[in-house]
Chain A
Amino acid sequence: MMIYRRILVLMLCLMLAPITMARELRSIETSDTTIDLRVFTAEGNKLLLGFPCDEGKSVAEEKTAESLARDGVEVWMPDMLSAYMLPKLKSSIHKIPTEAIAVLIEEAMETGKQVYLIASGPDTELVLRGAAYWEKQNKPKLAGGILMFPRLFKSEPVPGQVPEYIDVVGKTRLPLMVLEGERTPNRWTVNQLTLALEQGGSTVYAKLIPSVRGDFFKRDDASNPEEVVTMQLDGLIKASLYYLGSTKHND
């Protein structure tokens, strides 16, 4: 019996080995807190600074990050909520200071790589805030931002009325890629959001992902197409990086 248990433990260790090898934990000090981040190091010249906002639950994001790192894209995943002891609520995103995002961008830029920002859902606010703030500093430019199924309405939409976006929409010139699920009512707002984002001077690309709902890679009830797209998330992101990387900044 003991021998089976040992074999099982050994097998688990071997299975976990590549994960622990790929992932590195790092801390970055800001003026008011310490931000822990998972770093998936890579040799390439692209760095993806993502805002999953919570450590531990972003399983699909971690797998995607590992895969991207294997393909030469370095990924940083800071745990913003824990750094500011905030609960996992939509309203918590507004409480994350923009200066803290700027500190992370600064650290990422110091690697000398092209830095891209990425977030999903309401967390996409952090990408826009970070980019707008960074542009005001007149420092080297960020390469682009990926907004996955962005949820940027100021309040709950009222039927028959054009909803307002949060103030930071349309405040950056950063080239942006909007990815939206086809099976979500938000697909009908992609044009409107694109126009609003372009107001700041951004070149905005928008792609609908067929047969998936919003937040599809976080769902427990994922459909077959959603599981397939989750496995191909790294490819989607790499394609987005390609588009953004070949886009000229509007000055």
Chain B
Amino acid sequence: MTSSLLKNYYACQSFVKNRSKILMYSGYTPFFERFSPCLDCAHDVFQQAARRVFLIMVFLAFIGTVQAAHLKPYDAKAPTPALKLEDLEGNEHDLSKYKGQIVLVQFWATYCTPCRKEMPSMNNLIKKMQGTPFKILAVNMGETVDEVSNFVNEVKPNFTILMDPDGNSIADWRVFAAPSNFILSPDGKIRYTLFGGVEWDSDELVKQLKALAAKN
């Protein structure tokens, strides 16, 4: 038994270079004998595998971020739904009054983690869009004024937060997840949609939004 374990152990050594420490495995454990040549080597192999998995995950996360940043062209023939809601101060905002501007209509909620994460980048987007007529209308999905006010005090968005306590606009705009984003061109038509959290101040997105403004 011991000899077979040692044989496995030394066979394993040839795979693991620059080893300075050798641990002897003396006990008999059927599990380890069956699944790994020796305890120490198993540890190294596990570490190598974990490192590879980590690198793959980082790569996938990067790819995912890049892919998520793409706006999806919107080809629906239906007209843009109406949007007339009050902000936190009780002032009414009518989407139709923002014609002539690029408008980002976002549906969001305080419990939505990606919504929370991306809001600082939306503040930056406003700065990067300076000189281009641009407006963000962020529609909260059915929460109370208290819940939203607490969130606003903490996250400090520099754009208009609209309240939709009954969720009527959510149905009109066919929103099924958060954050759901619609980009409207200056003629008031929906040109792009985007689902999920993104870095709104990325060069790619800013370029796309400015190009949309230049087209009209």
The interface of chain A, by Cβ under 8 A from chain B, is 153, 156-163, 183-189, 213
Contact = CB atoms under 8 A, between A and B. Distances in A.
Given A188-B142, A188-B170, A213-B111, A159 B76 contact: no
Contacts of B112: 185
Given A183-B111, A185-B112, A160 B167 contact: no
Given A159-B182, A160-B76, 20 more contacts: A153-B176, A156-B195, A156-B196, A158-B72, A159-B107, A159-B174, A159-B176, A159-B177, A160-B74, A160-B173, A161-B76, A161-B174, A162-B174, A183-B111, A185-B112, A185-B176, A186-B176, A188-B175, A189-B176, A213-B111
Contacts of B182: 159-160
B212 interface: no
Interface of B: 72, 74, 76, 107, 109, 111-112, 141-142, 167, 170-171, 173-178, 180-182, 190, 193-196
Contacts, number: 58
B114 to A, nearest CB: 11
Nearest to B174: A160
From B109, B111, B171, B175, residue with most partner A Cβ within 10 Å: B111
Contacts of A186: 176-177
A185 B72 contact: no
A188 B171 contact: yes
B15 to A, nearest CB: 25
Nearest to A192: B176
A160 B174 CA distance: 5
Given A185-B109, A188-B167, A157 B141 contact: no
A124 to B, nearest CB: 17
A160 B193 contact: yes
A31 to B, nearest CB: 26
